[in-house]
Amino acid sequence: MKRIILIHGMGTHPKGNMKEEFKRGMKTGLSQFGLSGGQIEFGFSKMDVIEYNFSEFFDEKRKELAEYADATRRGLSVSPSNWVERVHTEVTKVGQGLDDGSMLATSWLDVALYCNTYLGEMIRSQLATLLCQSMKEFGNDKVHVVAHSLGTSLLHDTLHKLFRDDSEFRDGISDYPVGEFNIESVWWLANVSRLTSLVSGQKKPYESRAINGRFGCIEHIVNVANKYDPFTWLRQYDPTQHPQHVPSYTRNIEQTSVKSWNPHKFENYVAHPEVAIRMIQRFSTLDVSRYISDESVKEAVSLYEADSLPGAVEELGRQIRPLTGDPDSIKFKDIVTAVKKVFDEVNELKEEYERDNKPAEGGES
Amino acid sequence: MKYLRRIIYTLICVMLFFSFNTMAEGDENGDKKKGKTKSIALCVLTEREKKDEIIKGIFEINKPLCWKLVDYKIGGHVSKLVAHSEVVESLEEYKNETLNFIKEKTGNDYGRQVELISFIEYFYTQVGEKIENPDSKTWPQVKVGSVGNSGIGLSLGSAYDLDQRFNLPSREESRYFKERVDSEFESCEAPFEKIADGLNGYRIGYDEMIHQDNIYTSQVLEAHWDKYDKKARVQTLLDLMADDSINKWRGHYKDDHLVGPPKTQYFFLHPTLIYEWIEEEPDGSKDKASLALEIFGFNRWDARMPWGASFTLVGSDRINFDPVSPAVSFYLFNKYSFGFSFRNGKNGFDDEVGFYVNFDLLSFGRETKKGYDRHIEKLSRF
């Protein structure tokens, strides 16, 4: 039995949803190879899938902040007007509407909460406990982690802090020696760790210990990016840029299909045949030797991409391309604006598409 | 109205009493947690592993190596030097016994025998090298799986040379393992995992120690964070961000390891509601609900007696005093707050010191929306 830990991204994620999306996505991807239901179920029976959910905690915090600000604003009615009140009003605006469910509230606020408040270190400690317990129970060579979006930053920062060069037994610090307890595989789906490290002050991904080999803490790294997902265009992560990566154990997969109006969606990342087949091979003892060749993967991917949404979103790629490199001059504010613009345009395209009476699907990130 | 002051002082004393009780309970819980150290069982297989003849067989051969490694790593009853020579001398013996055991159990029918023997020899050589050069290598761990586009195989992982990999036989090649897979869908990986688990058994004692140590320390950290989140003063988003920046600047958060919560919370432009009393105001206007803005403050949330202070601005229309005045707020036990406003007199009145209690004082702890609503309603009546 192998332990699979799922870590979600930005936004609200009710408990259990990610697990369902994971299984649904895997089934979609594996069905492109012609795997039978029995084979897929056998594969799942060898996995112990759990999710680390920090969404409930962040939701609660957002709600608390919004309620506190809202109550204070209403408290203004007890006082006459003067400039303290004016400042008071402006300051309390900062917290109002934080739980209104909009993209700005649920996504970018999560980034701010993770990068610029104590909540970041708090959830890193929680994840560290889960990793330690899983490694003890299953063995580090049977632990796999799938992280999506903001979850990639959380995982990256936690791993860097949990595995240390100068680790000592009973030094009062939660740490493993590098290279000796490597987690079997880490799947970065829409990795944003380079983006968040701009503002969080955490270790830069190309200098960190979240890499494979003797000086790292991971065996197999699979980095997956969707060509149309704006979050992966900005300060793209590429594990092969890390000077200590081990090439044979590192893989980049670029997805070029758009199966939903939200190309950042977790389920779509997993549903890609190449991701699904490599995951089931790594996460179970299902015999997939017949399907894993380059030719069969290519064939399954073509089949999968056949009903991809129209390529209009490629236009969006051209608009944001100037931000994809690594110029230090890019400001975080510009990145936020650019991503918002992309999502606005995706929504417009979606409306246009729906007007043409074609089926469409949506979903959370 | 002088009675009001007495009432407020009495109120503070009552709250302090309750807070001491709460603090005592907290310490007791903390001590209980500290005492919860689990016993560590080293070099012992799990019940499930014991049931498998391959894992158990290989492990039993290598068990002395497991104990020596524990001694070698944490300094038990054998000194490092003795452990070193003992381990090196015995390695050849462990290797031969392991190989004999595998041959005996599989009847030489596990497929690609020569390659497997060669891989196991390589494994023991690497264990020996690690003992010789403890700083330049890692303790080898046999892994089962594919690497790159290759099929399933045994290897020592990404920290070791990929060329020394052993490619697993197919089910057709290995009659022994073909008979031992759970289902027609299963690859040969599962049975070979048992050989890997058996060989890795030499380090389970060492692994167990490290895991237990890390689980304990990370749980302690988690408990501290939980306490901070529940007990420290409520912060606004601005407070949280300012607090994080200051604590980063002060070096609390470490770049290379996880830490617990900071000892001091910081506040920046923290808005609150207060109930202020000024002796020199006319009757009926002495006490009044007002706004306060804590410009900058701190709170030692986990001190023996939690306390904090902040530079504050208080604003309310007063008859004999300017509407805005500087003030100093104090906090106690993360719950209660009071302060003094320094009012500038007008209409010929002298400057006066006002006294106020913070909204939190009335709330007895963390506010909820309903709690705030209730208190705002009460304050509005004044």
Residue to mutate among A84, A119, A185, A211, with most B CBs inside 10 A, is: A84
Residues of B in contact with A177 (CB under 8 A): 138, 210
Give the residue-averaged pLDDT of A41-64.
Answer: 88
**pLDDT digits 0-9 by tens, B262-304:** 999 999 988 888 888 888 777 777 787 888 888 999 999 999 9
ipTM of the predicted structure?
0.81
- Predicted confidence (pLDDT) at residue B24 exceeds the cutoff of 70: no
Q: Determine the residue of chain B that is closest to A109 in CA distance.
A: B237
CB of B231 closer than 8 Å to CB of B164: no
Residues of B in contact with A204 (CB under 8 A): none
CA angle A241, A297, A192 (to 5 degrees): 35
CB contacts under 8 A, B 363-382 vs A, are: 367-369, 372-373, 376, 379-380, 382
**Residue B93: per-residue pLDDT:** 84
Mean per-residue pLDDT over chain B, rounded: 77
**Alpha-carbon distance A72 to nearest alpha carbon in chain B (angstroms):** 7
Which of B157, B196, B221 comes nearest A182 by C-beta? B157
**Residue B79: per-residue pLDDT:** 46
**Separation between Cα atoms, residue B58 and residue B99, nearest integer Å:** 9
Q: Left if phi > 0, otherwise alpha if psi is -120 to 50, otherwise beta: which for B247? A: alpha
Which of B152, B215, B225 comes nearest A122 by C-beta? B225
**Alpha-carbon distance A258 to nearest alpha carbon in chain B (angstroms):** 26
Mean per-residue pLDDT over chain A, rounded: 80
**Residue B19: per-residue pLDDT:** 42
Cβ count within 10 A of residue B315 = 26
Is B158 close to A180, i.e. CB distance below 8 A?
no
- Say which range, A33-42, A223-232, B101-110, B189-198, has the weakest mean pLDDT: B101-110
Is B369 close to A246, i.e. CB distance below 8 A?
no
CB contacts under 8 A, B 269-328 vs A, are: 269, 271-273, 289-293, 313-317, 323-324
Is B273 close to A175, i.e. CB distance below 8 A?
no
Is A126 close to B222, i.e. CB distance below 8 A?
yes
Which of A88, A113, A125 comes nearest B218 by C-beta? A125
Is B158 close to A248, i.e. CB distance below 8 A?
yes
Higher pLDDT, A322 or A55: A55
**pLDDT digits 0-9 by tens, B308-325:** 999 998 887 777 788 888
**Residue A143: per-residue pLDDT:** 96
CB of A213 closer than 8 Å to CB of A242: no
**The token pair that represents B275 in the structure block:** 């109930």
CB contacts under 8 A, B 91-110 vs A, are: none
Is B289 close to A78, i.e. CB distance below 8 A?
yes
Residues of B in contact with A164 (CB under 8 A): 256-257
Which of B171, B193, B271 comes nearest A88 by C-beta? B271
Which of B149, B157, B259 comes nearest A219 by C-beta? B157
Interface check for A112 against chain B (CB to CB < 8 A): the answer is yes
Is A42 close to B271, i.e. CB distance below 8 A?
no
pTM for this prediction? 0.83
Q: Is B304 exposed, middle or buried (0-12, 13-18, 19+ CB in 10 A)?
A: exposed
CB of B293 closer than 8 Å to CB of A88: yes
CB of B137 closer than 8 Å to CB of B130: yes
Give the residue-averaged pLDDT of B247-257.
Answer: 89
Count Cβ neighbours within 10 Å for each residue of B154-175 and write b for 16 or more, e otherwise. Answer: bbbbbbbebebbbbbbbbeebe
**Separation between Cα atoms, residue B191 and residue B169, nearest integer Å:** 11
Interface check for A349 against chain B (CB to CB < 8 A): the answer is no
**pLDDT digits 0-9 by tens, A315-348:** 656 655 555 555 455 555 666 666 666 666 666 6
Residues of B in contact with A79 (CB under 8 A): 273, 289-291, 315-316
Higher pLDDT, B299 or B365: B299
- In the DSSP assignment, the letter for residue A205 is T
CB of A64 closer than 8 Å to CB of B299: no
Higher pLDDT, B177 or B309: B309
Sign of the alpha-carbon dihedral angle for A307, A309, A313, A317 = negative
